[in-house]
Structure 1
Protein backbone atom coordinates (compact mmCIF):
# COMPACT_ATOMS: atom_id res chain seq x y z
CA UNK A 1 0.00 0.00 0.00
CA UNK A 2 3.00 2.31 0.43
CA UNK A 3 3.74 1.89 -3.27
CA UNK A 4 0.09 2.63 -4.07
CA UNK A 5 0.27 5.86 -2.02
CA UNK A 6 3.49 6.94 -3.74
CA UNK A 7 2.07 6.21 -7.18
CA UNK A 8 -1.16 8.10 -6.46
CA UNK A 9 -3.32 4.97 -6.74
CA UNK A 10 -4.60 4.94 -3.15
CA UNK A 11 -6.87 7.67 -1.80
CA UNK A 12 -9.23 5.66 0.39
CA UNK A 13 -9.06 3.19 3.28
CA UNK A 14 -11.52 1.15 5.34
CA UNK A 15 -11.39 0.18 9.01
CA UNK A 16 -13.84 -1.96 10.96
CA UNK A 17 -16.08 0.14 13.22
CA UNK A 18 -16.37 -0.21 16.96
CA UNK A 19 -19.36 0.89 18.97
CA UNK A 20 -19.15 4.43 20.33
CA UNK A 21 -19.22 5.44 23.98
CA UNK A 22 -19.39 9.21 23.52
CA UNK A 23 -20.70 11.68 20.96
CA UNK A 24 -17.33 12.66 19.48
CA UNK A 25 -16.56 11.38 16.00
CA UNK A 26 -19.56 9.09 15.89
CA UNK A 27 -22.03 8.07 13.25
CA UNK A 28 -25.50 6.80 14.07
CA UNK A 29 -26.72 4.05 11.79
CA UNK A 30 -30.22 2.69 11.44
CA UNK A 31 -29.57 -1.02 11.11
CA UNK A 32 -32.62 -1.60 8.91
CA UNK A 33 -31.82 0.93 6.18
CA UNK A 34 -28.13 1.79 6.75
CA UNK A 35 -28.74 5.55 6.94
CA UNK A 36 -25.80 7.24 8.68
CA UNK A 37 -25.65 10.68 10.28
CA UNK A 38 -22.57 12.19 11.96
CA UNK A 39 -22.13 13.49 15.45
CA UNK A 40 -24.89 12.09 17.67
CA UNK A 41 -25.91 9.02 19.64
CA UNK A 42 -28.17 6.21 18.57
CA UNK A 43 -30.79 6.41 21.27
CA UNK A 44 -33.84 5.05 19.48
CA UNK A 45 -34.79 1.48 18.81
CA UNK A 46 -32.95 0.06 15.82
CA UNK A 47 -30.06 2.55 16.02
CA UNK A 48 -26.45 2.05 17.02
CA UNK A 49 -23.59 4.55 17.25
CA UNK A 50 -20.17 3.72 15.83
CA UNK A 51 -16.90 5.45 16.69
CA UNK A 52 -15.09 6.43 13.48
CA UNK A 53 -11.90 7.93 14.90
CA UNK A 54 -11.55 10.25 11.90
CA UNK A 55 -12.90 13.65 10.85
CA UNK A 56 -12.37 15.75 7.70
CA UNK A 57 -9.26 17.88 8.08
CA UNK A 58 -7.41 15.36 10.26
CA UNK A 59 -3.74 14.82 9.45
CA UNK A 60 -2.38 11.28 9.65
CA UNK A 61 1.27 10.30 9.40
CA UNK A 62 2.17 7.11 7.59
CA UNK A 63 4.36 4.36 9.01
CA UNK A 64 6.26 2.03 6.68
CA UNK A 65 9.00 -0.58 6.88
CA UNK A 66 12.40 1.11 7.10
CA UNK A 67 16.12 0.90 7.85
CA UNK A 68 18.81 3.21 9.16
CA UNK A 69 22.60 3.01 8.81
CA UNK A 70 23.97 -0.23 10.16
CA UNK A 71 25.91 1.78 12.75
CA UNK A 72 22.59 2.32 14.55
CA UNK A 73 21.43 -1.30 14.51
CA UNK A 74 21.80 -1.55 18.27
CA UNK A 75 19.56 1.48 18.92
CA UNK A 76 15.83 1.35 19.51
CA UNK A 77 13.81 3.97 17.59
CA UNK A 78 13.06 5.72 20.88
CA UNK A 79 16.80 6.14 21.44
CA UNK A 80 17.39 7.85 18.09
CA UNK A 81 17.65 11.61 17.91
CA UNK A 82 16.01 12.17 14.53
CA UNK A 83 19.17 12.98 12.59
CA UNK A 84 19.71 9.40 11.42
CA UNK A 85 19.36 8.62 7.72
CA UNK A 86 16.21 6.64 6.90
CA UNK A 87 15.75 4.31 3.93
CA UNK A 88 12.18 3.16 3.24
CA UNK A 89 12.17 -0.58 2.61
CA UNK A 90 10.20 -0.29 -0.65
CA UNK A 91 13.04 1.76 -2.17
CA UNK A 92 16.06 0.07 -0.62
CA UNK A 93 18.88 -0.77 -3.05
CA UNK A 94 20.75 -3.33 -0.90
CA UNK A 95 23.71 -1.08 -0.11
CA UNK A 96 25.90 -2.75 2.49
CA UNK A 97 25.64 0.22 4.87
CA UNK A 98 21.90 -0.17 5.20
CA UNK A 99 21.10 -1.56 8.64
CA UNK A 100 18.64 -4.15 9.82
CA UNK A 101 15.00 -4.32 8.76
CA UNK A 102 12.55 -2.46 11.02
CA UNK A 103 8.79 -3.05 10.79
CA UNK A 104 6.53 -0.12 10.04
CA UNK A 105 4.91 -0.20 13.47
CA UNK A 106 8.27 0.87 14.92
CA UNK A 107 8.74 3.90 12.65
CA UNK A 108 8.89 7.09 14.77
CA UNK A 109 6.91 10.16 13.80
CA UNK A 110 10.01 12.13 12.75
CA UNK A 111 10.95 9.44 10.20
CA UNK A 112 7.61 9.48 8.34
CA UNK A 113 7.70 10.94 4.83
CA UNK A 114 4.01 10.76 3.89
CA UNK A 115 1.05 12.64 5.38
CA UNK A 116 -2.65 11.98 4.71
CA UNK A 117 -5.23 14.76 4.89
CA UNK A 118 -8.71 13.34 5.57
CA UNK A 119 -11.31 14.75 3.16
CA UNK A 120 -14.38 12.61 3.88
CA UNK A 121 -15.59 10.04 6.41
CA UNK A 122 -18.61 7.76 6.20
CA UNK A 123 -19.92 4.56 7.76
CA UNK A 124 -21.19 1.72 5.59
CA UNK A 125 -21.20 -2.03 5.17
CA UNK A 126 -17.96 -3.42 3.76
CA UNK A 127 -19.71 -4.87 0.73
CA UNK A 128 -21.13 -1.44 -0.13
CA UNK A 129 -17.69 -0.79 -1.61
CA UNK A 130 -18.22 0.26 -5.24
CA UNK A 131 -15.88 -0.52 -8.14
CA UNK A 132 -14.56 3.06 -7.96
CA UNK A 133 -14.01 2.66 -4.20
CA UNK A 134 -12.12 -0.60 -4.74
CA UNK A 135 -9.81 1.07 -7.25
CA UNK A 136 -9.28 4.00 -4.84
CA UNK A 137 -8.21 1.45 -2.20
CA UNK A 138 -5.03 0.98 -4.23
CA UNK A 139 -5.47 -2.34 -6.02
CA UNK A 140 -3.34 -2.80 -9.11
CA UNK A 141 -4.85 -1.80 -12.46
CA UNK A 142 -3.61 -3.46 -15.65
CA UNK A 143 -4.34 -3.21 -19.32
CA UNK A 144 -5.96 -5.82 -21.58
CA UNK A 145 -4.17 -9.16 -21.54
CA UNK A 146 -1.35 -9.19 -24.15
CA UNK A 147 -1.93 -12.89 -24.81
CA UNK A 148 -5.56 -12.13 -25.69
CA UNK A 149 -5.41 -9.40 -28.37
CA UNK A 150 -9.19 -9.11 -28.52
CA UNK A 151 -9.57 -8.44 -24.79
CA UNK A 152 -10.87 -5.00 -23.82
CA UNK A 153 -11.04 -2.94 -20.67
CA UNK A 154 -8.84 -2.75 -17.58
CA UNK A 155 -8.06 -5.74 -15.39
CA UNK A 156 -7.39 -5.69 -11.64
CA UNK A 157 -5.16 -7.48 -9.15
CA UNK A 158 -5.08 -7.63 -5.36
CA UNK A 159 -1.27 -7.56 -5.25
CA UNK A 160 -1.23 -10.76 -3.16
CA UNK A 161 -2.21 -13.74 -5.30
CA UNK A 162 -0.35 -15.20 -8.29
CA UNK A 163 0.97 -12.25 -10.33
CA UNK A 164 0.23 -14.01 -13.62
CA UNK A 165 -3.18 -15.60 -13.15
CA UNK A 166 -4.58 -13.54 -10.26
CA UNK A 167 -6.19 -10.87 -12.45
CA UNK A 168 -9.93 -10.19 -12.63
CA UNK A 169 -12.28 -7.91 -14.54
CA UNK A 170 -14.01 -6.97 -11.27
CA UNK A 171 -12.12 -4.48 -9.04
CA UNK A 172 -14.36 -5.32 -6.07
CA UNK A 173 -13.38 -8.98 -6.35
CA UNK A 174 -9.71 -7.98 -6.28
CA UNK A 175 -10.26 -5.78 -3.23
CA UNK A 176 -12.23 -8.53 -1.47
CA UNK A 177 -9.25 -10.88 -1.88
CA UNK A 178 -6.95 -8.21 -0.46
CA UNK A 179 -9.30 -7.63 2.51
CA UNK A 180 -9.38 -11.35 3.29
CA UNK A 181 -5.59 -11.54 3.08
CA UNK A 182 -5.23 -8.72 5.62
CA UNK A 183 -8.13 -9.58 7.92
CA UNK A 184 -8.42 -13.36 7.60
CA UNK A 185 -10.46 -15.87 5.63
CA UNK A 186 -14.16 -15.02 5.54
CA UNK A 187 -13.65 -11.39 6.63
CA UNK A 188 -15.18 -10.00 3.43
CA UNK A 189 -18.11 -12.42 3.57
CA UNK A 190 -18.85 -11.29 7.17
CA UNK A 191 -19.71 -7.84 5.71
CA UNK A 192 -18.95 -5.77 8.85
CA UNK A 193 -19.69 -2.10 9.39
CA UNK A 194 -16.63 -0.10 8.36
CA UNK A 195 -15.42 3.47 8.41
CA UNK A 196 -14.55 4.53 4.87
CA UNK A 197 -12.00 7.36 4.84
CA UNK A 198 -11.05 9.44 1.81
CA UNK A 199 -7.80 11.38 1.91
CA UNK A 200 -5.25 13.39 -0.04
CA UNK A 201 -1.61 12.28 0.06
CA UNK A 202 1.13 14.81 0.72
CA UNK A 203 4.84 14.07 0.38
CA UNK A 204 6.38 15.40 3.56
CA UNK A 205 6.66 14.85 7.28
CA UNK A 206 3.54 15.83 9.20
CA UNK A 207 5.49 18.26 11.41
CA UNK A 208 7.15 20.00 8.47
CA UNK A 209 4.00 20.79 6.49
CA UNK A 210 2.37 24.21 6.85
CA UNK A 211 -0.82 24.36 8.86
CA UNK A 212 -3.90 25.28 6.85
CA UNK A 213 -6.64 27.27 8.55
CA UNK A 214 -10.15 27.84 7.24
Structure 2
Protein backbone atom coordinates (compact mmCIF):
# COMPACT_ATOMS: atom_id res chain seq x y z
CA UNK A 1 0.00 0.00 0.00
CA UNK A 2 1.21 3.48 -0.88
CA UNK A 3 -0.19 6.88 0.10
CA UNK A 4 -0.36 9.24 -2.87
CA UNK A 5 -2.05 12.52 -3.87
CA UNK A 6 -4.72 12.78 -6.55
CA UNK A 7 -6.11 16.01 -8.01
CA UNK A 8 -9.80 16.70 -8.64
CA UNK A 9 -11.50 19.88 -9.78
CA UNK A 10 -14.17 21.52 -7.66
CA UNK A 11 -17.17 19.88 -9.32
CA UNK A 12 -15.64 16.41 -8.97
CA UNK A 13 -14.80 17.04 -5.31
CA UNK A 14 -18.45 17.90 -4.75
CA UNK A 15 -19.47 14.71 -6.55
CA UNK A 16 -17.21 12.64 -4.27
CA UNK A 17 -18.57 14.34 -1.16
CA UNK A 18 -22.14 13.77 -2.36
CA UNK A 19 -21.42 10.07 -2.96
CA UNK A 20 -21.93 10.44 -6.72
CA UNK A 21 -18.36 9.72 -7.81
CA UNK A 22 -16.56 6.41 -7.26
CA UNK A 23 -14.37 6.25 -10.36
CA UNK A 24 -11.93 8.34 -12.36
CA UNK A 25 -10.23 7.89 -15.73
CA UNK A 26 -6.63 8.95 -16.16
CA UNK A 27 -4.45 8.92 -19.24
CA UNK A 28 -2.22 5.93 -19.96
CA UNK A 29 1.24 7.40 -20.46
CA UNK A 30 2.99 6.67 -22.62
CA UNK A 31 0.19 5.68 -24.98
CA UNK A 32 0.84 2.36 -26.75
CA UNK A 33 2.29 2.91 -30.19
CA UNK A 34 0.16 2.07 -33.22
CA UNK A 35 1.53 -1.46 -33.53
CA UNK A 36 0.89 -2.33 -29.88
CA UNK A 37 -2.85 -2.04 -29.56
CA UNK A 38 -3.86 -5.39 -28.05
CA UNK A 39 -4.28 -5.26 -24.25
CA UNK A 40 -2.53 -8.22 -22.62
CA UNK A 41 -3.21 -7.49 -18.95
CA UNK A 42 -1.20 -6.81 -15.81
CA UNK A 43 2.07 -8.41 -14.77
CA UNK A 44 1.21 -10.29 -11.59
CA UNK A 45 4.55 -11.94 -10.85
CA UNK A 46 8.20 -11.55 -11.73
CA UNK A 47 8.46 -14.31 -14.33
CA UNK A 48 8.17 -11.77 -17.15
CA UNK A 49 11.08 -9.81 -15.67
CA UNK A 50 8.89 -6.75 -15.49
CA UNK A 51 7.77 -4.85 -12.41
CA UNK A 52 4.57 -6.25 -10.92
CA UNK A 53 1.66 -3.96 -11.70
CA UNK A 54 2.81 -3.02 -15.20
CA UNK A 55 0.31 -3.45 -18.03
CA UNK A 56 1.31 -4.94 -21.36
CA UNK A 57 0.15 -4.06 -24.87
CA UNK A 58 1.01 -6.29 -27.79
CA UNK A 59 0.39 -6.48 -31.52
CA UNK A 60 -1.89 -9.44 -30.79
CA UNK A 61 -2.58 -11.78 -27.91
CA UNK A 62 0.38 -13.98 -28.88
CA UNK A 63 2.83 -11.13 -29.45
CA UNK A 64 6.39 -11.52 -28.25
CA UNK A 65 6.91 -7.79 -28.73
CA UNK A 66 5.19 -6.10 -25.80
CA UNK A 67 5.09 -2.50 -24.64
CA UNK A 68 4.70 -2.05 -20.88
CA UNK A 69 3.32 0.85 -18.90
CA UNK A 70 2.41 1.26 -15.24
CA UNK A 71 -0.54 3.07 -13.67
CA UNK A 72 0.12 5.79 -11.15
CA UNK A 73 -2.22 4.07 -8.71
CA UNK A 74 -2.59 0.42 -7.68
CA UNK A 75 -5.40 -1.42 -5.85
CA UNK A 76 -4.96 -0.92 -2.13
CA UNK A 77 -3.31 2.49 -2.46
CA UNK A 78 -4.66 5.25 -0.24
CA UNK A 79 -5.17 8.58 -1.97
CA UNK A 80 -5.59 12.01 -0.44
CA UNK A 81 -7.55 14.45 -2.57
CA UNK A 82 -5.92 17.72 -3.52
CA UNK A 83 -8.56 20.37 -4.14
CA UNK A 84 -8.77 24.14 -4.48
CA UNK A 85 -8.13 25.55 -1.03
CA UNK A 86 -7.41 28.68 0.96
CA UNK A 87 -6.91 30.06 4.43
CA UNK A 88 -9.79 31.52 6.46
CA UNK A 89 -10.47 35.22 6.02
CA UNK A 90 -11.67 35.69 9.59
CA UNK A 91 -8.92 36.11 12.14
CA UNK A 92 -11.25 34.57 14.69
CA UNK A 93 -11.71 31.35 12.73
CA UNK A 94 -10.72 28.10 14.38
CA UNK A 95 -10.11 26.59 10.93
CA UNK A 96 -6.69 26.40 9.31
CA UNK A 97 -7.97 25.60 5.80
CA UNK A 98 -11.14 26.22 3.79
CA UNK A 99 -12.14 24.66 0.48
CA UNK A 100 -13.62 25.96 -2.75
CA UNK A 101 -15.93 22.95 -3.09
CA UNK A 102 -17.92 24.03 -0.05
CA UNK A 103 -20.86 26.20 -1.11
CA UNK A 104 -20.15 28.38 1.89
CA UNK A 105 -16.61 27.66 2.95
CA UNK A 106 -16.96 29.47 6.26
CA UNK A 107 -19.75 31.36 7.96
CA UNK A 108 -19.57 34.99 6.93
CA UNK A 109 -18.22 34.80 3.37
CA UNK A 110 -18.93 33.11 0.07
CA UNK A 111 -16.59 31.44 -2.40
CA UNK A 112 -16.41 34.32 -4.84
CA UNK A 113 -15.02 36.66 -2.20
CA UNK A 114 -12.06 34.49 -1.24
CA UNK A 115 -8.51 34.04 -2.50
CA UNK A 116 -8.13 30.43 -3.61
CA UNK A 117 -4.98 28.40 -4.25
CA UNK A 118 -4.70 25.73 -6.98
CA UNK A 119 -5.22 22.14 -5.92
CA UNK A 120 -1.71 21.15 -6.98
CA UNK A 121 -0.34 23.38 -4.21
CA UNK A 122 -2.55 21.99 -1.45
CA UNK A 123 -0.42 20.62 1.39
CA UNK A 124 -0.97 17.05 2.48
CA UNK A 125 -1.88 18.16 5.99
CA UNK A 126 -4.91 19.99 4.57
CA UNK A 127 -6.42 16.85 3.02
CA UNK A 128 -9.95 16.15 4.22
CA UNK A 129 -10.95 13.47 1.65
CA UNK A 130 -9.25 10.09 1.64
CA UNK A 131 -9.88 7.34 -0.90
CA UNK A 132 -8.92 3.68 -1.18
CA UNK A 133 -8.28 2.32 -4.68
CA UNK A 134 -10.38 -0.82 -5.15
CA UNK A 135 -9.69 -1.65 -8.80
CA UNK A 136 -7.61 -0.54 -11.78
CA UNK A 137 -8.18 -1.60 -15.37
CA UNK A 138 -7.40 -0.31 -18.83
CA UNK A 139 -9.78 0.46 -21.68
CA UNK A 140 -10.43 2.87 -24.52
CA UNK A 141 -11.89 6.20 -23.46
CA UNK A 142 -14.96 5.83 -25.67
CA UNK A 143 -15.83 2.50 -24.06
CA UNK A 144 -17.49 4.49 -21.27
CA UNK A 145 -21.18 3.68 -20.73
CA UNK A 146 -24.00 5.64 -19.10
CA UNK A 147 -23.39 3.75 -15.85
CA UNK A 148 -19.66 4.49 -16.10
CA UNK A 149 -20.36 8.18 -16.67
CA UNK A 150 -22.62 8.22 -13.62
CA UNK A 151 -19.86 6.64 -11.52
CA UNK A 152 -17.58 9.40 -12.82
CA UNK A 153 -19.91 11.98 -11.26
CA UNK A 154 -21.78 12.91 -14.46
CA UNK A 155 -25.54 12.81 -14.71
CA UNK A 156 -25.23 10.59 -17.76
CA UNK A 157 -23.13 10.01 -20.85
CA UNK A 158 -24.63 12.71 -23.09
CA UNK A 159 -26.01 15.27 -20.64
CA UNK A 160 -25.37 18.78 -21.91
CA UNK A 161 -24.90 19.93 -18.32
CA UNK A 162 -22.31 17.34 -17.28
CA UNK A 163 -21.64 15.22 -20.35
CA UNK A 164 -18.61 13.01 -19.92
CA UNK A 165 -16.97 13.80 -23.30
CA UNK A 166 -17.04 17.53 -22.57
CA UNK A 167 -15.80 17.03 -19.03
CA UNK A 168 -12.93 14.88 -20.31
CA UNK A 169 -11.87 17.44 -22.92
CA UNK A 170 -12.03 20.21 -20.30
CA UNK A 171 -9.23 18.43 -18.39
CA UNK A 172 -6.93 18.23 -21.42
CA UNK A 173 -4.66 21.07 -22.50
CA UNK A 174 -5.84 22.56 -25.79
CA UNK A 175 -2.47 21.76 -27.33
CA UNK A 176 -2.95 18.06 -26.42
CA UNK A 177 -6.53 17.59 -27.63
CA UNK A 178 -5.31 16.12 -30.92
CA UNK A 179 -3.48 13.42 -28.93
CA UNK A 180 -5.55 12.86 -25.80
CA UNK A 181 -8.98 14.37 -26.46
CA UNK A 182 -12.26 12.48 -26.59
CA UNK A 183 -12.24 12.19 -30.38
CA UNK A 184 -8.82 10.47 -30.40
CA UNK A 185 -10.16 7.67 -28.14
CA UNK A 186 -6.95 7.15 -26.13
CA UNK A 187 -6.22 4.29 -23.74
CA UNK A 188 -7.07 5.23 -20.16
CA UNK A 189 -6.70 3.81 -16.67
CA UNK A 190 -10.09 3.24 -15.05
CA UNK A 191 -9.51 3.75 -11.32
CA UNK A 192 -12.30 2.76 -8.95
CA UNK A 193 -12.24 3.90 -5.33
CA UNK A 194 -14.20 4.20 -2.11
CA UNK A 195 -14.12 6.74 0.70
CA UNK A 196 -12.01 5.77 3.68
CA UNK A 197 -10.65 7.25 6.89
CA UNK A 198 -7.33 9.00 7.09
CA UNK A 199 -4.69 6.36 7.94
CA UNK A 200 -3.32 6.51 11.44
CA UNK A 201 0.06 8.09 11.77
CA UNK A 202 -0.26 10.11 8.53
TM-score (norm 1): 0.64
Q: Distance in 1 between matches of 2:58 and 2:161?
A: 32
For the pair 1:30 / 2:41, whether they are aligned, the reply is no
Q: Where in structure 1 are there 5+ consecutive unaligned residues?
A: 34-41, 73-82, 142-153, 160-173
Note if contact 2:23-2:193 (Cα within 8 Å) is conserved in structure 1: yes
- Per the TM alignment, residue 95 of structure 1 is displaced from its structure 2 partner at its CA by 2.9
Q: Distance in 1 between matches of 2:140 and 2:189?
A: 9
Cα distance change of structure 1 residues 114 and 208 upon mapping to structure 2, 3 Å threshold: farther
Corresponding residue of 2:164: 175
Q: Where in structure 2 are there 5+ consecutive unaligned residues?
A: 1-11, 33-49
TM-score (norm 2): 0.67
For the pair 1:127 / 2:142, whether they are aligned, the reply is yes
Q: State the number of aligned residues.
A: 163
Corresponding residue of 1:168: none
1:108-127 equivalences under 5 Å are 108-127=123-142
Q: Distance in 2 between matches of 1:138 and 1:53?
A: 21
1:54-93 equivalences under 5 Å are 54-70=73-89, 85-91=96-102, 92-93=105-106
Match of 2:64 among 38, 44, 52: 44
Kindly provide the CA deviation profile for residues 149-198 of structure 1, in whole angstroms up to 9, marking residues without a partner as x. xxxxx983454xxxxxxxxxxxxxx1111111111445011111111100
Q: Distance in 1 between matches of 2:55 and 2:68?
A: 6
Pick the structure with greater CA Rg: 1
Kindly provide the CA deviation profile for residues 2-60 of structure 1, in whole angstroms up to 9, marking residues without a partner as x. 1100011111111111249x524211123557xxxxxxxx9713x32121122111100
- What stretches of structure 1 move > 6 A for 4+ residues in a row? none
Query: Pairwise CA RMSD of aligned residues?
Result: 3.4
Q: Distance in 2 between matches of 1:3 and 1:136?
A: 13
